Amino acid sequence: MEGGEMPTITPVNLFASEAVLAFFKIGILLILIFYAIFALMIVRQVDLMGKTLITPVSPILRAFAIVHAGVAIGLVVLAWGIL
């Protein structure tokens, strides 16, 4: 190096590799699939709770659980289409 020049460092793009990108995509899809399974388990648990403990709030909770599961499954489908 002449004249006190600073060394230049070129940044490394980790996402340029196809293997890293594929691993990242598969990881996102797996997380979303597990989340959708969890949301379906919540629907089942809310249904069991509604049969055991009958309250006026039970149908509202059941509706929220079904909407939540639908959004979770929709996210899996959306991510599958985008990724």
pLDDT at 3: 59
pLDDT at 19: 86
pLDDT at 8: 80
* pLDDT category of residue 16 using cuts at 50, 70 and 90: confident
Euclidean distance between CA atoms 64 and 83, whole angstroms: 28
Euclidean distance between CA atoms 82 and 25, whole angstroms: 10
Identify whether the C-beta of residue 32 lies closer than 8 Å to the C-beta of residue 79. yes
Domain range annotation of the chain:
29-82
pLDDT per position as a tens digit, 26-77: 999 999 999 999 999 999 999 999 999 999 999 999 999 999 999 999 999 9
